[in-house]
Amino acid sequence: MNSLAKDRMATAMFWVAAGLVLLILGTLIGYIFYHGLKSVDWQFITSPSQNIRAGGGIGPQIFNSFYILFLTMAISVPIGLLAGIYLAEYAGRSPLAEAVRVAIETLTSLPSIVVGLFGLLLFVNATGWGYSLMSGALALTVFNLPFLVRVSEESIRGVSRELAEGSLALGATHWQTIWRIIMPSAFPALLTGIIITSGRVFGEAAALLYTAGMSSPALDFTNWNIFSGTSPLNPFRPAETLAVHIWKVNSEGIIPDVRRVADGSAAMLVMVVLAFNFGARSLGRYIHRRLTAA
Amino acid sequence: MNWKLFFDRAGRGLTLLCAALVILLTISIIYFISSKGLATFFVNGISPGEFLFSDQWLPERSLSEGGPQMGAAAFIIGSLLVSLLAVGISAPLGIIVAVFIVEIAPGWGQRVLQPAVELLAGIPSVVYGYIGLSLLVPFIRVYFGGGGFSLLAGFLVLSVMILPTIISVSTDSLRALPLEYKHASYALGSTRWQTIRMVLIPAARSSLITAVVLGMARAFGEALAVQMVIGNTREIPTSILSPMMTMTSAITMDMGATVMGTTWNNALWSMGLLLLLMSLFFILIIRLVVRKGAVQ
């Protein structure tokens, strides 16, 4: 066997491996949508779920997922952004910056179930809120923060230094330069990153089992009083998200139409996450075009 | 009082505060999980040796029979087995695909495979678990025998889940190699395969190891996808087709069913602590490998 024949064999192996990855992806996506779209209709998306009987929908779960995403982002984006600014603009190579980096690495590699356990201790038991949207959002903040810090640091580092230097040379303070010059240029990359992390948050379940809980109280969508127990907007009520719902109906579901509900839920979940991913990309490109007039 | 300067100082302080918050958060996670996780040994008097090496898991045995036995070895071995086997498949496959994207078909790889890998990374883990449950488990039951819920189903699902991590980190590390290496190797008359095997892969070794360790860490900590396909029987698996249990699935299933403060519940927190220690250990490995293997 000479080296040329070996080279050809190797090339074939590379193509087979690449084909295998595409095949796996095709199978997964095809399976989800083929089965899922058969069970998704308007009624399924809007009606409440059933615990025992067949015919339940996923209306409240979809609402909970988006609401918890909104709360999580409202808490984690400001903190992540400011910490990212610190790392990119002020920290340099100080010991503190190094410590922040180690912390981020640690948080990134934490299993999400461990984040959930921490949330159970601190945000569910210590605060006395019980299983609630707020506890879930805080747990997801812990889960999401390292990615956001990284995203904002990288998007700021991507801005050309000459811009900032020009601003400083004109007598602007560092703080003004960051907010008037650097941030607008970093905005497209930042927004793309934020939307992609939103997709991760939307699909996360393990951190929510013991923080936001696995039940959804009867919601009255006409009740907008934020302090009432049946109001969908009350942040201190338990809330099962779509991702948690998929896990629950499969592992302890006693409804007769588990298959239908799980198929439909999985298709909805994947559709939303994919929409986030594609949306992030095209929106980033669009804003970039608008800002740079390229 | 100059407002511009005041804002400049205050703004800097604010960013510093948020950065410090990230550190504080990490320290408090380690502190809280440790204090709960160590209660098993200090309060309930279970010996760490028993917890780590015994597979006698009898959490509700009465005191007259000798009290509860908390040997978590079956879960620990389960977690290790399932993630090592997953890495055994995904590490070679992931690195091969990364080489394909960077070296073999850069145009096609960039346009088609890279987005495909990003899509795989974007699929939520409960969806992986659900597809494993409804597609893979029946397949294994029919074609390989057994109940279908098995170690095999567990590590196959995991191997697909960690593939994107391994591929993307490996791709970055191969892209970062100096072009001169490749050119010099070709100039000496090497074929493409010889160049990849003897020059590029060894040169990128430390970052490739990082990629594999990151994949391993993900596999080790994954909870729900694994829990849905492994059958969750509390014993050490005897074959690749037998059902099993991991630490993450024990926590997932029993945390809601046990009362806070009981021996059983505390043992679950100890497993949480062990998961935390493992992820710290993985980071340590990565830091050591990268420092040793950095191109001088």
Cα-flanking dihedrals φ and ψ of residue A157, to 5°? Answer: -65, -20
User: Do residues B126 and B218 touch, judged by C-beta distance below 8 A?
Assistant: no
- Residue A129: strand, helix, or coil: coil
Candidates A261, A170, A132, A126; CA nearest to B28 is: A126
A187-196, A285-294, B148-157, B274-283 — which is least confidently predicted? A285-294
Instruction: Using pLDDT thresholds of 50, 70 and 90, give the confidence band for residue B30.
Output: very high
From B48's Cα to the closest Cα of chain A, the distance in A is: 20
Cα-flanking dihedrals φ and ψ of residue B50, to 5°? Answer: -60, -45
**Which residue did the predictor score with more confidence, B72 or B87?**
B87
Which residues are CB-contacts of A45 (< 8 A; sequence separation ≥ 6)? Answer: A57, A58, A59, A62, A268
Query: Is the pLDDT confidence value at B246 over 60?
Result: yes
Instruction: Using pLDDT thresholds of 50, 70 and 90, give the confidence band for residue B193.
Output: very high
User: For the whole model, what pTM was predicted?
Assistant: 0.91
Alpha-carbon span A132 to A124, nearest angstrom: 8
Residue of A247, A265, A273, A278 to mutate when probing chain B, most B C-beta within 10 A:
A247
Instruction: Using pLDDT thresholds of 50, 70 and 90, give the confidence band for residue A239.
Output: confident
Query: Is the pLDDT confidence value at B280 over 80?
Result: yes
**For all residues of chain B together, what is the average pLDDT?**
89
Q: Would you state the pLDDT for residue A278?
A: 86
Instruction: Using pLDDT thresholds of 50, 70 and 90, give the confidence band for residue B296.
Output: very low
From A227's Cα to the closest Cα of chain B, the distance in A is: 27
Query: Residues of A with CB below 8 A from B16's CB?
Result: 86, 90, 96
**Cβ <8 Å between B126 and A28:** no
Q: Would you state the pLDDT for residue B263?
A: 85
Q: Rounded to 10 degrees, what is the CA torsion of A221, A225, A226, A230?
A: -50
**Which residue did the predictor score with more confidence, B187 or A48?**
B187
Token digits for B26?
A: 């990490």
Q: Would you state the pLDDT for residue B148?
A: 87
Alpha-carbon span A150 to A221, nearest angstrom: 38
Provide mean pLDDT across the span B281-288: 90
User: Do residues B274 and B247 touch, judged by C-beta distance below 8 A?
Assistant: yes
Q: Point out the residue among A86, A173, A250 whose CB comes nearest to the CB of B4.
A: A173
Query: Residues of A with CB below 8 A from B109's CB?
Result: 18
Provide mean pLDDT across the span A79-85: 95
**Cβ <8 Å between A14 and B11:** no
**Which residue did the predictor score with more confidence, A286 or A271?**
A271
Q: Would you state the pLDDT for residue B1?
A: 61
Cα-flanking dihedrals φ and ψ of residue A113, to 5°? Answer: -65, -35
Q: Point out the residue among A85, A103, A115 whose CB comes nearest to the CB of B15.
A: A85
Provide mean pLDDT across the span A234-257: 85
Candidates B268, B266, B212, B262; CA nearest to B245 is: B268
User: Do residues B158 and B177 touch, judged by C-beta distance below 8 A?
Assistant: no
Query: Is the pLDDT confidence value at B145 over 50?
Result: yes
Q: Point out the residue among A122, A200, A250 whose CB comes nearest to the CB of B130.
A: A250
Instruction: Using pLDDT thresholds of 50, 70 and 90, give the confidence band for residue A119.
Output: very high
**Cβ <8 Å between A6 and B191:** yes
Q: State the CB neighbour count (10 A cutoff) for residue A16.
A: 11
